[in-house]
Amino acid sequence: MDVKYWLLLLPLVSCLSIAQNKVFLVTEQLPPLSYVDKQGQVRGDATERVQQLMLHAGLDYSIEVLPWKRAYKQAESSANTLIFTILKTPTRSERFDWLCPLVPPLEVYLYKLKNRHDLAPSSLADAKSSLVGVSRGSVAHSLLLNQGFIEGKNLMVTTNIDVLTQNLRNGRLDYVLLINTSVHDTDNITAALPENFSRDLPACLAINKQSDPQIKQRLMASFTTLSATNFHQP
């Protein structure tokens, strides 16, 4: 092939190389782990670790904050897509490649208002006579469905965690089953049960199974290096 044709192809080859090295990160609005600030930037403790990982691995990336169910579906179906912060459950285990733990274990509790003295459950089953709110597609959602809760009867499902806590405060919900980092109004909201329903599942970064093997290798190598110092750079 003539040299001039190679020169014409170089920009295209370069663009393809960059595209192949780009990863797409999806997460949810889950402060302080991940959230969009007033300037529209994605921030948070988990976000910072993920950004540090991308820099160490030398990968171009983008981060998008989505409702959890949509983020999960995108990560499961699209190559070179990663999702955080996700609990590694037995059901999810075979669907992704995993980098764990990304952050310390998350805790999932059944919460109620402190002034609801009429609510005194001794187990999760006791909440079946009440209305419990969860985030759609979350571990808490799956847990309640497996426990026999029924959407529209004793289960309210939404894609917005802030809506859940707001509905709890205004009396539209009796309980919410949420990750502890999602509950900020601790003056008025308390755990109704002492049990941590996440069962200390690791909180991770998950990689789509069909992703570029070289990208996965770079991520895994960088994650091993950074984890050795708990993401503290020397």
Whether the pLDDT of residue 223 is over 50: the answer is yes
Residue 7 pLDDT > 80, yes or no?
no
Say what percent of the chain tops pLDDT 70. Answer: 91
The rounded distance, in Å, linking the Cα atoms of 70 and 60 is 22
- For the domain made up of 108-191, the CATH class stated in words is alpha beta
Mean pLDDT across the stretch 133-148?
Answer: 94
Kindly give, in sequence order, each residue whose CB lies less than 8 Å from that of residue 119, ignoring residues fewer than 6 positions away: 112, 130, 174, 175, 192
40: region left, alpha or beta (phi > 0 left; psi from -120 to 50 alpha): left
Give the Cα separation of 18 and 15 in Å (integer): 5
Q: Rounded mean pLDDT of 155-183?
A: 94
pLDDT in tens, 90-103: 999 999 999 999 99
pLDDT of 2 reads 54
What's the confidence (pLDDT) of residue 181? 87
With 80 as the cut, is the pLDDT of residue 160 above it? Answer: yes
The domain segmentation of the chain, as residue ranges, is 3-105+201-227, 108-191
Using DSSP's 3-state secondary structure scheme, residue 82 falls into strand
Query: In angstroms, rounded to a whole number, what is the distance separating the alpha carbons of residues 46 and 180?
Result: 15
Whether 23 contacts 64, CB under 8 Å: no
Q: At what angle do helices 45-57 and 213-227 cross, to 10 degrees?
A: 120
The whole-model pTM stands at 0.84
| 72 vs 159, more confident | 72
CATH number of 3-105+201-227: 3.40.190.10
